[in-house]
Amino acid sequence: MNTESGKHKKKSKIQALKVEGKKMTDQQTIAETFNEYFVAIAENVKRQVKIILLMMIMITWTVIPSSWNKFYETLSRYRT
């Protein structure tokens, strides 16, 4: 059962990472580089989601006109 769940698999470790022409071998530096990379991806996705939400709000307001004050209140919640 442990074999099927992968508990006996050897952990693979990245020995080196090349970023912008520099080769890194320190495990802490490699971990920090991966962290920075994935944080940047998350921030980019967050910005894109905000843009999509704002577009949806604007489309909704053009189709269903209502109070402009309510529109600006909603819009201001999504500003960073």
* pLDDT of amino acid 70: 73
* pLDDT of amino acid 61: 65
At 15, list the tokens.
């020995």
Q: H or E stretch including 19?
A: strand 17-19
Identify the residue with better confidence: 23 or 56.
23
Sorting pLDDT into bands at 50, 70 and 90, what band is 36?
very high
* pLDDT of amino acid 64: 61
Identify the residue with better confidence: 77 or 17.
17
Contact at 8 Å (CB) between 41 and 47? Answer: no
23 phi and psi, to 5 degrees?
-95, 125
Is pTM beyond 0.75 here? no
